[in-house]
Amino acid sequence: MEKLTAAFFERDATVCARKLIGCTFRWKSTAGIVVETEAYAEHGDEACHLFSRPSAREFVAKKPAGSAYVYLNYGIYWLVNVVCKNTVTGDRGFVLIRALEPTAGLAAMKKRRNKERLRELCSGPGKIGQALGITGKDHGKNLTLPPEGNQSGFWTPDSDDFEIETDRRIGISKAKELEWRFLMAGSEHVSIAVGKGR
DNA sequence: TTCCAGATCTTA
DNA sequence: AAGATCTGGAAC
């Protein structure tokens, strides 16, 4: 397993979102295998914060690829994204981390979530923020520093013995038709099964 | 098992 | 005024 560097995130969010499936996301003492992501793009995607939020545009203008974009959703849940920047085209975007298969720090996750069953710990973007203890104070954190400088970030998969499925994104009203949700086929840890998200 | 409303607050 | 969610309870 090798840690993903900034170069990994220097391409379209759709590419990064697909390639992050199967990777391990480590956050301090907790970790899990990424089993679900969504891509949001600067152009042609009205659901992306870059379309409607000046503060998001300002953020990506000054933060490098691989930075954490964390924001409060519905006034309650912290959602974690990673900044992507295509260095060739200049296009920018985010990958929303939507679900993990928990692999480390299970006791801490169970305590924060107040749940015992593994499937209820990280099967949704709001749950991930809660289980891993991620909040607005982590907004802007660089996830691509070397391990000795930052233990949080993404690692390449142990094996590539899995299939990737695509589906429409969850919980949005604009650009619903885009198939920019990526899932590890057959995983029990996804938020909503393929096709059931409407 | 599915549906629905409520919680709660930042951004625009 | 709307929103990249989750939960518990009611109904089926």
User: What pLDDT is stored for residue A112 in this prediction?
Assistant: 96
Quickly state the pLDDT bin for A196 (edges 50, 70, 90). confident
CA of residue A193 to C1' of nucleotide B1, angstroms? 15
pLDDT of A148 reads: 87
Taking the C-alpha atoms of residue A21 and residue A186, their distance in angstroms, rounded to an integer, is 13
Query: What's the Å distance between residue A116 CA and nucleotide B4 C1'?
Result: 26
Residue A2, pLDDT score: 94
pLDDT for res A147:
87
Does residue A99 carry a pLDDT above 80? Answer: yes
What's the rounded mean pLDDT across residues A40-69? 97
Residue A149's pLDDT is 81
- How many alpha carbons lie under 13 Å from residue A56 in its C-beta half-sphere? 21
Domain locations in chain A as residue ranges: 6-184
State the CB neighbour count (10 A cutoff) for residue A171.
14
- Which of the nucleotides lies closest to A45 (Cα–C1')? C4
Q: What angle do CA A77, A83, A84 make, to 5 degrees?
A: 140
For the CA atoms of A19, A151, A192, A60, the dihedral, rounded to the nearest 10 degrees, stands at -70
pLDDT over 70 for what percent of chain A?
99
Q: How far apart are CA A151 and CA A132, in angstroms?
A: 13
* CATH-assigned architecture of domain A6-184: Roll (3.10)
Tell me what pLDDT residue A198 has.
Answer: 65
- CA–C1' gap, A73 and B9, in angstroms: 9
A168 CA to B2 C1' distance (Å): 21
Which nucleotide C1' is nearest A49 CA? C4
* Minimum-distance residue to B9 (CA–C1'): A75
Mark the nucleotides of strand C covered by protein, meaning any atom under 7 Å from a CB.
2-7
- The pTM for the full model equals 0.96
Please tell me which residue, A149 or A183, carries the higher pLDDT value. A183
- Nucleic strand B near CB of residue A74 (< 7 Å): yes
Q: Compute CA distances A174 → A48, A171, A178, whole Å.
A: 9, 10, 10
Could you report the per-residue pLDDT of A136-160, keeping only the tens digit for each? 999 999 999 998 888 899 999 989 9
